Amino acid sequence: MDQAILKKLLSSEFYNENRAKLKRALFAEEGADLFDVIEQAHSKYGHDLSIKEVMILYKIHNPISSEAEIGVVTDVITSINNAPDISDGVAQDAIIDLWKRENARQIADLAISVTEGNYDAMTTIRNLMDETIGGYVPDDFGEFTTDDLDELLAETGNGNRWMFNIPRLSNHVYGIGPGEFGIVFATPETGKSSFVVSCCAGPGGWCEQGAKILFLGNEETTRRTKVRAYQAWCGMNEQELIDRNEEAKRKYSAIKNNMLMKDVQDWDLNRIEAFIDKVKPDIICLDQGDKIQIGGQYNAGHERLRELYRRLRETAKRYDAAVISVSQASAEAEHKTKLSYTMMEGSKIGKAAESDLIIGIGRHSGETDSGEPDPTRFLTISKNKLSGWHGTIPVVLEAGVSRYVQ
């Protein structure tokens, strides 16, 4: 079959119509060498090729080939010349079959590497399987982007975003939508997890807006986070949840199917993505994103984080969901009210480069007149590809009920 396809590729018209499907790996060794010659010849000359021309060009491109090697190639060229003529349709189907076989070979090789500890290869395996099973071929480029304004606005306008439930914030940032990636960061004990929970489960938050949220925790247990969600939705502190237990349960039942939580300590990104594919959420919250495991070798921690955050951005696009990663701030951010994205721990600029929105939560170091920690927090938007606004918004953390208010 290789010889019949290579014979068909002598036609400039057929080659150009099918060039997106073609690559060296589809053909056996000597056939692959001749495919290289045919590909280069079409690129340079732009006309039909004869079998004699292919032989001449092979010798030109391989001047140090031995007589034995030339003899093998001559036999292959003779086989190509004697191969049956096949129609365009049959040749195209044969190329697609070769493509699927090559995908299967890659899957098999990658599967072996997984057994040797290269778990990162599982993402590539899944993509190759999706291509093969779904009937993807490389020249299936799809349609051009629509010109339908109503459709464009429905997909990209503010109406397609999950709005923040802090009016001062939503006035400037609007919200976060499918395929978009945001980062929330702060120093320890500032209330970054509470901020995300408040956005999810607080009054007017994403749960109330109808979003299906998947909150994945690999730092503190999500049982503790679930209590915060109860507090944020019910407006009750922990003692009130105990004293008014049945009332709290009844109230929370309104959003419990929208606020799904799972502990994912020691999960790698491949396993997390498989879980996302099963749950199909609208919003994915990762607390903390930095601790998610990925495969590969990296010279420094910031290189691993950049690759991790690049893949998290791809996760948002692949599963058409908003992704929010909670991250630590560096020591530079301690006792500062305005946090720039350069203050994210271990980031340099790699993490920031992959995000659409970055919110840093700053705080005062002092106390109130009553001796309590100052509840004022400062939300600094230091990167915003969603609306373009940058600035700082003062808010108040009501820690007892895990709510951020203005």
- Cβ proximity of 55 and 174 under 8 Å: no
For the record, the structure tokens of 116 come out as 């040797």
- Mean pLDDT (whole number) for 293-315: 84
Residue 137 and residue 209: Cα distance in Å, rounded? 39
Residue 124 or residue 326, greater confidence:
326
367 three-state secondary structure: strand
Task: Average the pLDDT over each of 135-139, 153-157, 350-354 and give the range with the smallest value.
Answer: 135-139
For the record, the structure tokens of 222 come out as 């999500």
Q: pLDDT tier at 219 (50, 70, 90 boundaries)?
A: confident
Residue 198 and residue 183: Cα distance in Å, rounded? 15
For the record, the structure tokens of 342 come out as 């350069």
Residue 348 and residue 303: Cα distance in Å, rounded? 9
Write the DSSP symbol of residue 392.
Answer: E
The answer to whether residue 390 scores a pLDDT higher than 80 is yes
* Residue found by looking up tokens 């607080």 in the block: 202
What is the identity of the amino acid at 110?
Answer: L
Question: Measured between alpha carbons, how far is residue 378 from residues 150, 310, 347, 363 in Å?
Answer: 37, 27, 21, 6
What confidence score (pLDDT) does residue 138 get? 62
- Mean pLDDT (whole number) for 134-155: 71
Residue 67 or residue 299, greater confidence:
67
- pLDDT of 57-108, one tens digit each? 989 988 888 888 899 989 999 999 999 999 999 998 898 888 888 888 889 9
| Average pLDDT of every residue of the chain | 89
Distance from first CA to last CA of the chain, Å, rounded?
A: 71
Q: pLDDT tier at 16 (50, 70, 90 boundaries)?
A: confident
- Cβ proximity of 360 and 340 under 8 Å: yes
Residue 251 and residue 363: Cα distance in Å, rounded? 32
Largest CA distance in the chain: 95
The answer to whether residue 365 scores a pLDDT higher than 90 is no
Residue 31 and residue 387: Cα distance in Å, rounded? 54
The alpha carbons of the chain give a radius of gyration, in whole angstroms, of: 29
- Domain positions in the chain: 2-134, 153-405
Q: Which residues contact 366 (CB under 8 A, 6 or more apart)?
A: 374
What is the identity of the amino acid at 181?
Answer: F
Among residues 21, 8, 3, the alpha carbon closest in space to that of 90 is found at 8
Among residues 33, 61, 17, the alpha carbon closest in space to that of 6 is found at 33
Residue 80 or residue 120, greater confidence:
80
- CA 96 from chain centre, in angstroms, equals 28
Residue 233 and residue 282: Cα distance in Å, rounded? 19
CATH class in words for 2-134: mainly alpha
What confidence score (pLDDT) does residue 139 get? 59
- Cβ proximity of 270 and 277 under 8 Å: no
Residue 294 or residue 169, greater confidence:
169
Residue 285 and residue 259: Cα distance in Å, rounded? 10
For the record, the structure tokens of 294 come out as 């990925």
- Cβ proximity of 361 and 184 under 8 Å: yes
Residue 347 and residue 140: Cα distance in Å, rounded? 38
The CATH superfamily holding the domain 153-405 is P-loop containing nucleotide triphosphate hydrolases (3.40.50.300)
What confidence score (pLDDT) does residue 385 get? 93
- Mean pLDDT (whole number) for 268-295: 91
